[in-house]
């Protein structure tokens, strides 16, 4: 568990700053910290728990990125007033990859001192320290590329196990997942049917749901749609769509006692943080024009080598895509592009890729997509697997499977 704090100014601080406590952090490396009591005090019986999850991925780290500290101040103040126990971590990379700054630190200021004036001072210091720690967490450099908001939720809710009081997750993110079932790189950001389809996939993907158990947890999303200034920008409609998506996913993951809020608190901007090491690249979410979405399927999931016969394992993903296609409002057409890898050298690359595209097209029609709207194209040898933050670390075998993929693209009017 990493507990590094923001670099503090050397020398003696001005007395007025010391009295205000505005620049005093919670770190164990600062004996003057007005919040040292928090890490030394055990949580009280029946105390609530708040977990702050800060998005540290590339989409929020560029020039003029979101500044979460101001947006979260009122919420932190409310939970400190209640005496919650706090955990804070930065998420990025593989599912559930959270870099914890600290875990289960008590903010029960009422038990922190005998004198009422000292208790009130401790309460105010706690708010200042926690909001400062949010800024520090934004500067943490992720170890891996990729954004998985659901994975972070699953890890965060694990720290709330055994909490007797109210349990809360506060997720500070632009909401642009690029891995897992909620991968938004090809999202259209427009229709309710797409939100329902993503939620359905997340609840039933494979043998296990990717939705965490949020039963009885209050979840608040802050900053949805607010990315760094050098990233593609969401408009008001797309931000509203993101809010509905994450509230829907949260509701599907919860049950009785679960609340899901997308806070509309204004999010300010801040200069790009100084990196202490190389920052992994992340695939961009381009905000599609609302007219198409592409589903790439690796060849190994569909066909045996040098075969155009669909494997039994292909039924589930093709059925899922067919349902999405036929329930897409204003469906225009579905294009199926087949590719083969460059190993064959048999001269039948084009015909094999066409046969595979035809097989996938037939399967889509069999599952309800109007045949007149389905086009199949054999593209021959793949021009290469797209290289971005999600594929740069692929093994040769993984790239080969990407080369022999089938792309299914759904267009609507």
The per-residue pLDDT for range 128-159, each reduced to its tens digit, is: 999 999 999 988 888 788 889 999 999 999 99
**CATH for 304:** 3.30.1330.60
Query: What is the structure's pLDDT at 176?
Result: 93
Strand ranges in 215-330 using DSSP code E only, listed in sequence order:
217-222, 259-263, 268-270, 292-297
The verdict on 211 and 343 lying in the same domain is: no
Residues 234 and 129 in one domain: yes
Instruction: Enter the pTM of the model.
Output: 0.66
User: Do 367 and 228 share a structural domain?
Assistant: no
Q: What is the pLDDT of residues 391-413, one digit of tens each?
A: 455 677 777 777 788 989 888 87
Do 233 and 121 fall into the same domain? Answer: yes
Query: Taking Cα atoms as reference points, which of 139, 163, 208 lies closest to residue 51?
Result: 163
Which contiguous run of DSSP H or E holds residue 380? strand 374-381
Angle of CA points 368, 202, 387, to nearest 5°:
90
Are residues 195 and 266 located together in one domain of the fold?
A: yes
370: its two tokens: 């109007």
At 3 the pLDDT is: 38
Q: How many domains is the chain built from? A: 2
With left for phi above 0 and alpha for psi between -120 and 50, is residue 347 left, alpha or beta? left
Percent of the chain topping pLDDT 90? 39
Residues 101 and 204 in one domain: yes
pLDDT in tens, 21-40: 333 344 444 534 678 889 88
3-state helix vs strand vs coil in the chain, percent to 5: 35, 20, 45
Residue 413, SS3 per DSSP: coil
pLDDT score for 33: 60
C-alpha separations of 261 from 222, 245, 249, 251, 295 in Å = 9, 11, 11, 10, 30
- Spatial separation of the C-alpha atoms in residues 409 and 383, rounded to whole Å: 17
Q: Give the pLDDT confidence score for residue 18 in this predicted structure.
A: 31
Q: Which domain holds residue 316?
A: 292-412
- Specify the DSSP element, H or E, that contains 49: strand 49-55
DSSP secondary structure, 113-182, as one string = -SSHHHHHHHHHHHHHHHHHHHHHHHTPPPSS----HHHHHHHHHHTTTT--S-EEEEEES-----SSTT
Residues 209 and 98 both lie in one domain: yes
Residues 325, 238, single domain; the answer is no
Beta bridge mates, 297: 406
Residue 64's DSSP bridge partners are none
Chain segment 200-230, per-residue pLDDT in tens:
888 875 456 789 999 999 999 999 998 887 7
364 secondary structure, DSSP code: H
The CA angle 157-200-221, to the nearest 5 degrees, is: 40
- Which segments in the chain show pLDDT lower than 50? 1-29, 31-32, 206, 346, 387-391
- Nearest-angstrom CA–CA distance, 51 and 85: 8
Residue 257's region, left for phi above 0, alpha for psi from -120 to 50, else beta, is left
CA pair distance 173, 226, nearest whole angstrom: 8
From 223, 238, 270, the end of a domain falls on 270
Query: How far apart, in whole angstroms, are the C-alpha atoms of residue 196 and residue 198?
Result: 6
* Co-location of 121 and 261 in the same domain: yes
Half-sphere exposure of 270 (CA within 13 A, CB side): 17
Beta carbons of 261 and 221 less than 8 angstroms apart: yes
Within-domain flag for 139: yes
Residues 6+ apart with CB under 8 A from 141: 56, 275, 276, 277, 278, 279
Domain boundary among 270, 304, 337: 270
């Amino acid at each position: 568990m990493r507990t590094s704090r923001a670099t503090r100014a050397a020398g003696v601080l001005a007395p007025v700053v010391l009295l205000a406590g505005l620049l005093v952090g919670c770190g164990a490396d600062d004996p003057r910290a007005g919040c040292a009591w928090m890490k030394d005090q055990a949580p009280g019986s029946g105390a609530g728990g708040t977990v702050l999850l800060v998005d540290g991925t590339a989409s929020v780290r560029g020039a003029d990125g979101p500044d979460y500290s101001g947006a979260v101040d009122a919420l932190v103040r409310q939970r400190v007033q209640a005496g919650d126990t706090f955990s804070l971590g930065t998420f990025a990379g593989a599912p559930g990859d959270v870099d914890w700054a600290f875990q289960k630190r008590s903010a029960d200021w009422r038990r922190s001192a005998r004198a009422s004036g000292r208790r009130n001072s401790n309460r105010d210091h706690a708010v200042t320290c926690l909001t400062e720690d949010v800024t520090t967490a934004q500067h943490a450099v992720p170890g891996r590329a990729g954004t998985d908001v659901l994975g972070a939720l699953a890890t965060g809710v694990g720290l709330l196990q055994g909490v007797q009081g109210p349990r809360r997750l506060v997720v500070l993110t632009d909401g642009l997942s690029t891995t897992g079932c909620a991968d938004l790189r090809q999202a259209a950001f427009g229709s309710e049917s797409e939100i329902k389809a993503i939620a359905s996939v997340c609840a039933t993907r494979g043998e296990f749901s990717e939705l965490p158990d949020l039963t009885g947890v209050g979840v608040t999303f802050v900053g949805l749609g607010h990315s760094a200034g050098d990233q593609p920008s969401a408009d008001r409609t797309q931000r509203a769509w993101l809010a509905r998506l994450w509230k829907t996913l949260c509701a599907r993951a919860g049950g009785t006692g679960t609340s899901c809020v997308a806070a509309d608190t204004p999010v300010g901007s801040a200069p790009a943080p100084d990196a202490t090491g190389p920052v992994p690249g992340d695939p961009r979410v381009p905000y599609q024009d609302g007219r198409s979405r592409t589903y790439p399927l690796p060849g190994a999931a569909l066909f045996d080598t040098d075969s155009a016969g669909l494997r039994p394992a292909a039924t589930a993903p093709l059925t899922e895509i067919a349902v999405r296609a036929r329930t897409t409002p204003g469906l225009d057409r579905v294009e199926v592009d087949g590719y083969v890898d460059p190993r064959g050298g048999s001269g039948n690359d084009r015909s094999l890729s066409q046969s595979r595209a035809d097989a996938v097209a037939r399967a889509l029609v069999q599952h309800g997509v109007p045949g007149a709207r389905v086009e199949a194209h054999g593209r021959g040898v793949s021009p290469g697997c797209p290289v971005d933050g999600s594929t740069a670390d692929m093994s040769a075998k993984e790239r080969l499977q990407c080369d022999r993929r089938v792309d299914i693209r759904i267009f609507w009017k």
